[in-house]
Chain A
Amino acid sequence: MFVMLQTVFPDLSAATPEIFLFIVAMALLMVGVFAPAARAAAVVGRLALLSLVVALVMVLMQDGVKVATFENMFIVDRFAIFMKVLVLIGSALTLLMSGRFFAEMNARKFEYPVLVVLATLGMMMMISANDLIALYMGLEIQSLALYVLAAFLRDQERSTEAGLKYFVLGALSSGMLLYGASMVYGFAGTTQFAALAAVLKGGEVAPGIIVGIVFIAAGLAFKVSAVPFHMWTPDVYEGAPTPVTAFFAVAPKVAAIALFLRVMLEPFGGIAAEWRQVIVFLSVASMILGAFAAIRQNNIKRLMAYSSIGHVGYALLGLAVGTSEGIRAVLVYMAIYLTMNIGTFACILAMRRQGQYVEQIPDLAGLSKRNLPMAIIMMLLMFSLAGVPPLAGFFGKFYVFKAVMEMSALSSGWTVLAVIGVLSSVVGAFYYLRIVKVMFFDEALEPLDLPSGRELGLLMGLAGAFNLFFFPFAGPLLRAAGNAAAALF
């Protein structure tokens, strides 16, 4: 006999941007296959960019009322909207800067934009995840697309090696995450975030739950590349094609941080006292390693990998605080981080000598004489990354430290954290300043080509301007981040 289950058709309206992107991805595959081979990649690239922008508009049009759909597995709230906006901006801008690179590497394929769109879809699903399984699904969609992207230059050994390393370690981290999720399910009896929150209201917590959370945190820490789960980052950043590295540095980081925040605060928010130690450890280790290990790097992509590890450390510090103030600081931090990285990678993509892409720091020598505007923008971005006021990067750190210091009234340990943060940012400033020094004071061996391509110039200009004139943006950004953070409490 046939049993009809009493199910309501899910409310699709909350997920329109995601559904749209999914359909677009499949449609683009068709376009790519049937369009004339010579132009397919360019056409698909442009369409993908357009659809990301459309998805951005659709996200922005959502009103921010908390809606859960698909049997409570998918949630849209202000937090999700804020993070999705960041992710979509990051994806769109990195897509914008990648067309030329692949064209010049003779590796322009229409699958690239499709994979970027699918990865973005995965990130948006991560951000909206309201269930441990949904979380895992989003994570896998994103990760799988990223593995392929990392190995996209399949004829380059470095690229394939990066893809493979990322894949294997990613699988390991997924395993940990799943293991943790299964333990949490085993002890709490549900995978739904809301139900978990109801179960874990504090009080006596089963050790199984905590072990589960540690495993889940480890899996997520891998995605945000927090120490000691960061090991893949330098190798993959270095090996992957530069636009892919740029993509890695922004969109997935933002999405993973969003996921991290939501998982830690919504289902496990009641037992924050238990997991705070983990986050503090990850944060401190990341800040310190990010600062120290970058010093000896000569490859600028590798350096940016360590830089991103360090920055994730600061962001996690805000999560460790766990107040709405702290979360707001994280959101602002990620927004600023996004702009700094987009700008920096635009600069890195502009580093070419006689048509060949170069990525060693000494290659930047004498840039100020060859291309002063780019050198100045790069300098601004480096100062911003180092956290020099009045650039945006300073405010990112400032809000985080402010949130930490507000906690210091409760326990002096927070002050120690803030001090560690400030000290490691001092150490970190060294390698950013070194780049500035190389650009402005070292003698050029052989000058870099002038950057050609409007996209890179535009991105550099935008990022530089945002970081330099952060003040007018500070108010709206803080407000939006405050609203978004409030949605998690």
Chain B
Amino acid sequence: MMYVLIVFLPLLGAILAGFFSSVLKDRGSQIVTSGFLVVSALLSWVGFFDFMGGAEPLTVDLASWMQVGDFSVNWALRIDMLTQVMLVVVTSVSALVHIYSIGYMAHDPSIPRFFSYLSLFTFAMLMLVTADNLVQLYFGWEGVGLASYLLIGFWYEKPSAGAAAIKAFLVNRVGDFGFALGIFTLFFMLGTVNFDEIFAAMPGLVGKQFNFLGWQVDVITTASLLLFVGAMGKSAQIGLHTWLPDAMEGPTPVSALIHAATMVTAGVFMVARLSPVFEYSETALTVVTVIGAATAFFAATVGMVQNDIKRVIAYSTCSQLGYMFFALGVGAYPVAIFHLFTHAFFKALLFLGAGSVIHAVSDEQDLRKMGGLAPHIRQTWILMAIGSLALAGIFPFAGYFSKDAILEAAFASGSTAGVYAYWLGVAAAVMTAFYSMRLFMLAFHGRPRAPKEVMDHVHESPKVMLIPLYFLGAGAIASGFLFAGPMIGEAFREFWGPAIYIGEHNEVMEAMHNVPGYVKLLPLLAGIGGILIGWIMYGWKTDLPASLARTHQVLYQFLLNKWYFDEIYDFLIVRPILKLGRILWKQGDGRIIDGFGPDGVSALVVRLARRAAALQTGYLYHYAFAMLIGVAALITYFFYNLGL
């Protein structure tokens, strides 16, 4: 019952705020949705501690969804530790974001709609994490996609917001297509979409192959890779990442909730949830590792030169997701989830803090027009400092524990891909610390670059916005050392129970505690080093960045333009498709289909109609004649038929 409440209270809130906004008004819808979310969050924590205390995993059956032949899908909530961790993350961050939004969106004309969307998103996300089968997972998956689309395009009057929403939706479709194919593959081979049944059947599938267009392909690898394509789309991994920075067109709380803490981690969650599938495919895991590491590195490089405060954080999100994926890839699922957990707090903190900054400087997002804000918004300054340190992985903040663990696990895996991931990860860690410092220095220190009238209005955010920030700040500080022990320590198996499957040969969780000292130390040093470089460039020798950019023009442009991904896609995919579409539209549809189809047919019909009407001359003898001819024709036909 508790879990039903957790999942469905947000839906109820969404419905109330969405359909009864005329009754509830702004204030009412804020109270309803936020209130429900807080209840939901509290219940989640209750459940979490229940599980910490040793509660058994359970499945809550809700209803039968579809029943076709022997194929059946049920609505059910699958509650185990993995779900539980996700529930805590999602409901907590969502509740805080709801509350924060009361302040942040106070001047928006369509508040009920915003809150309704937020709650709808939360519901879909909860559906996703509690899914008991692949179809329900897909339902939640698409649900969050929809909510994300609605929220990115929340300010639909802005063309850029609309375009970003469409882009997010379309790019996600690519991933979703892969995901759907993965589901089909599993269903095709196993005849079920239920997790328990799939997991139970996995050992039997090892080594099985099936024929695809003449290729013999391994079933598990294919299915895993297809599923991973879905995860790449949703979690903005390299190649399908292009939508995430653009998604920052949405309101900042949305960025915090959806595009940092929760939705984008759905891919990580999915891979962890399907760990019993991925564990059986070495190839798939290697791909996950390589892609994850590449993303971590790539996004970090781009993050170093961005000027929009939210985009910097967006690329940092992308990069951190890369960390999570290569943690998954090396088989350290608990570590990945742990990083997801800590990341949710400090990234939400960073985003909401950035929101607070933006709020302070009259909705300006360009870092180049900030600076010198620290004295004016002291509380935000502290909170952003906490968030940045956590992100940079400085002891004892949350990021230190999780990021360190990931890098250790990557090294400990011993595989080529793992070592490759380790070194890319360390490099990314330096850059992460650097751009965190850069952002921090540009925003809060130095000479104020904003116009005078803006500077005059700089003010600290209201309490309703700051209190959630404090909660998140506490999380960013404490979630690391509090939960590192149980989640990834020696006793991690007791903590996760059956939620995460780790193969017998997979020793990475044990091995990661026994890596050489330098491996453990390097990430921290990288963080400190990055911070130092950042301070040198933006706090001490402030003309250095500009001269560096001048001297390394090509590199700078390459990074500033995000490795030209958008341009390449535009050239390789968008333009040819548009051209093809134009051809199909003008020639195919207009000339061939319309010409021979609707237009041609209707012209033909008109001609025939004119003929048919012309038969009706009004002359009696014509009519009589027609009758006689009819009879004669029929009789002739019969004679012909009888062979006479």
Tell me the nearest residue of chain B to A229, going by C-beta.
Answer: B627
Contact B631–A207 (Cβ < 8 Å): no
In angstroms, how far is the closest chain B Cβ from the Cβ of A30? Answer: 37
Contact A235–B616 (Cβ < 8 Å): yes
Which residues of A lie under 8 Å from residue B634 when comparing CB positions?
214, 217-218, 278, 281
Interface residues of A in 195-252 (CB under 8 A from B): 207, 210-211, 214-215, 217-218, 222, 227-229, 231-232, 234-235
Is residue A427 within 8 Å, beta carbon to beta carbon, of the partner chain?
yes
Is residue A67 within 8 Å, beta carbon to beta carbon, of the partner chain?
no
Contact A211–B635 (Cβ < 8 Å): yes
In angstroms, how far is the closest chain B Cβ from the Cβ of A28? Answer: 33
1/0 per residue B590-613: CB within 8 Å of A? 000000000000000110111111
Contact A228–B635 (Cβ < 8 Å): no
Is residue A277 within 8 Å, beta carbon to beta carbon, of the partner chain?
yes
Given A169-B620, A228-B627, A231-B616, decide whether A211 and B638 contact each other with a Cβ distance below 8 A. yes
A-B contact pairs, 18 of them (CB 8 A): A165-B620, A168-B620, A207-B638, A207-B644, A210-B642, A211-B635, A217-B634, A218-B627, A218-B630, A218-B634, A222-B627, A228-B629, A235-B618, A292-B608, A293-B612, A295-B613, A296-B610, A427-B605
11 new A-B pairs (CB below 8 Å) besides A211-B638, A228-B629, A235-B616? A165-B623, A173-B627, A210-B642, A215-B631, A217-B634, A231-B615, A281-B637, A293-B612, A293-B616, A295-B613, A296-B609
Is residue B624 within 8 Å, beta carbon to beta carbon, of the partner chain?
yes
Is residue B626 within 8 Å, beta carbon to beta carbon, of the partner chain?
yes
In angstroms, how far is the closest chain B Cβ from the Cβ of A430? Answer: 7
Is residue A289 within 8 Å, beta carbon to beta carbon, of the partner chain?
yes
Contact B612–A229 (Cβ < 8 Å): no
What CA separation (Å) do A210 and B644 show in the bound complex? 13
Tell me the nearest residue of chain A to B623, going by C-beta.
Answer: A231
* Consensus secondary structure, chain B interface: helix
Tell me the nearest residue of chain B to A210, going by C-beta.
Answer: B638
Which A positions have Cβ atoms within 8 angstroms of B?
165, 168-169, 172-173, 176, 207, 210-211, 214-215, 217-218, 222, 227-229, 231-232, 234-235, 274, 277-278, 281, 289, 292-297, 427, 430
What CA separation (Å) do A227 and B634 show in the bound complex? 12
What CA separation (Å) do A67 and B637 show in the bound complex? 38
Contact B606–A169 (Cβ < 8 Å): no
Is residue B64 within 8 Å, beta carbon to beta carbon, of the partner chain?
no
In angstroms, how far is the closest chain B Cβ from the Cβ of A79? Answer: 26
Contact A293–B615 (Cβ < 8 Å): yes
Which residues of A lie under 8 Å from residue B627 when comparing CB positions?
169, 172-173, 176, 218, 222, 228-229, 231
What CA separation (Å) do A293 and B611 show in the bound complex? 8
Tell me the nearest residue of chain A to B627, going by C-beta.
Answer: A229
In angstroms, how far is the closest chain A Cβ from the Cβ of B62? Answer: 32
Is residue B552 within 8 Å, beta carbon to beta carbon, of the partner chain?
no
Given A207-B642, A210-B638, A229-B630, decide whether A292 and B623 contact each other with a Cβ distance below 8 A. no
In angstroms, how far is the closest chain A Cβ from the Cβ of B476? Answer: 60
Q: Which of B620, B630, B644 has the most CB of A within 10 A?
A: B630
What CA separation (Å) do A235 and B635 show in the bound complex? 27
Tell me the nearest residue of chain A to B631, going by C-beta.
Answer: A218
* Consensus secondary structure, chain A interface: helix
Which residues of A lie under 8 Å from residue B620 when comparing CB positions?
165, 168-169
Tell me the nearest residue of chain B to A165, going by C-beta.
Answer: B620
Pick the contact of B639: A207, A231, A281, A289 (CB < 8 A).
Answer: A207
In angstroms, how far is the closest chain A Cβ from the Cβ of B71? Answer: 28
In angstroms, how far is the closest chain A Cβ from the Cβ of B609? Answer: 4
Tell me the nearest residue of chain B to A226, going by C-beta.
Answer: B630
Which residues of A lie under 8 Å from residue B67 when comparing CB positions?
none
Contact A214–B631 (Cβ < 8 Å): yes
Count of chain B residues near A, Cβ 8 A: 28
Given A231-B616, A231-B622, A232-B623, decide whether A214 and B635 contact each other with a Cβ distance below 8 A. yes
Contact B605–A295 (Cβ < 8 Å): yes
Which residues of B lie under 8 Å from residue A210 when comparing CB positions?
638, 642
What CA separation (Å) do A173 and B627 show in the bound complex? 8
Is residue B641 within 8 Å, beta carbon to beta carbon, of the partner chain?
yes
Which residues of A lie under 8 Å from residue B635 when comparing CB positions?
211, 214
Contact B624–A169 (Cβ < 8 Å): yes
Which residues of A lie under 8 Å from residue B605 when comparing CB positions?
292, 295, 427, 430
Contact B622–A289 (Cβ < 8 Å): no
Contact A293–B631 (Cβ < 8 Å): no
What CA separation (Å) do A453 and B616 show in the bound complex? 35
What CA separation (Å) do A231 and B624 show in the bound complex? 8
Contact A169–B623 (Cβ < 8 Å): yes
Which 10 pairs, one residue from A and one from B, show the smallest C-beta to C-beta distance? A293-B612, A231-B623, A228-B630, A295-B609, A292-B612, A292-B608, A296-B613, A218-B631, A296-B609, A292-B609
Interface residues of B in 74-104 (CB under 8 A from A): none
Which residues of B lie under 8 Å from residue A297 when comparing CB positions?
613
What CA separation (Å) do A296 and B630 show in the bound complex? 24
In angstroms, how far is the closest chain B Cβ from the Cβ of A141? Answer: 22
Q: Which of B605, B606, B608, B631 has the most CB of A within 10 A?
A: B631
In angstroms, how far is the closest chain B Cβ from the Cβ of A186? Answer: 16
What CA separation (Å) do A430 and B601 show in the bound complex? 12
What CA separation (Å) do A218 and B627 show in the bound complex? 8
What CA separation (Å) do A222 and B626 show in the bound complex? 11
In angstroms, how far is the closest chain A Cβ from the Cβ of B10? Answer: 37
What CA separation (Å) do A293 and B609 show in the bound complex? 5
Contact B644–A293 (Cβ < 8 Å): no
In angstroms, how far is the closest chain A Cβ from the Cβ of B225? Answer: 45
What CA separation (Å) do A295 and B611 show in the bound complex? 11
In angstroms, how far is the closest chain B Cβ from the Cβ of A415? Answer: 21
Contact B644–A234 (Cβ < 8 Å): no
What CA separation (Å) do A373 and B472 show in the bound complex? 62
In angstroms, how far is the closest chain A Cβ from the Cβ of B644? Answer: 7
In angstroms, how far is the closest chain B Cβ from the Cβ of A72? Answer: 29
Pick the contact of A289: B612, B629, B641, B642 (CB < 8 A).
Answer: B612
Tell me the nearest residue of chain B to A305, going by C-beta.
Answer: B616
In angstroms, how far is the closest chain B Cβ from the Cβ of A413? Answer: 14
Which residues of A lie under 8 Å from residue B638 when comparing CB positions?
207, 210-211, 214, 274, 277
Tell me the nearest residue of chain A to B621, going by C-beta.
Answer: A168
In angstroms, how far is the closest chain B Cβ from the Cβ of A130? Answer: 25
Which residues of A lie under 8 Å from residue B611 when comparing CB positions?
292
Tell me the nearest residue of chain A to B638, going by C-beta.
Answer: A210
Q: Which of A229, A296, A297 has the most CB of B within 10 A?
A: A296
In angstroms, how far is the closest chain A Cβ from the Cβ of B271? Answer: 47
What CA separation (Å) do A228 and B626 show in the bound complex? 6
Tell me the nearest residue of chain A to B624, going by C-beta.
Answer: A172
Tell me the nearest residue of chain A to B642, going by C-beta.
Answer: A207
Which residues of A lie under 8 Å from residue B637 when comparing CB positions?
277, 281
In angstroms, how far is the closest chain B Cβ from the Cβ of A269? Answer: 18
Which residues of B lie under 8 Å from residue A211 when comparing CB positions?
635, 638
What CA separation (Å) do A176 and B635 show in the bound complex? 13
In angstroms, how far is the closest chain B Cβ from the Cβ of A302? Answer: 9
Which residues of A lie under 8 Å from residue B624 when comparing CB positions?
168-169, 172
Which residues of A lie under 8 Å from residue B630 when comparing CB positions?
218, 227-229
In angstroms, how far is the closest chain B Cβ from the Cβ of A230? Answer: 9
Pick the contact of B626: A215, A231, A294, A295 (CB < 8 A).
Answer: A231
Tell me the nearest residue of chain B to A430, going by C-beta.
Answer: B605
Which residues of B lie under 8 Å from residue A289 when comparing CB positions?
612
In angstroms, how far is the closest chain B Cβ from the Cβ of A256? Answer: 15
What CA separation (Å) do A278 and B642 show in the bound complex? 14
Interface residues of B in 231-283 (CB under 8 A from A): none
Which residues of A lie under 8 Å from residue B641 when comparing CB positions?
277
In angstroms, how far is the closest chain B Cβ from the Cβ of A404? Answer: 21
Tell me the nearest residue of chain B to A275, going by C-beta.
Answer: B638
Which residues of B lie under 8 Å from residue A172 when comparing CB positions?
624, 627
What CA separation (Å) do A235 and B615 show in the bound complex? 12
What CA separation (Å) do A289 and B608 show in the bound complex? 9
Tell me the nearest residue of chain B to A172, going by C-beta.
Answer: B624
Which residues of B lie under 8 Å from residue A231 when comparing CB positions?
615-616, 622-623, 626-627
Which residues of B lie under 8 Å from residue A217 when comparing CB positions?
634
In angstroms, how far is the closest chain A Cβ from the Cβ of B637? Answer: 7
In angstroms, how far is the closest chain B Cβ from the Cβ of A356? Answer: 24
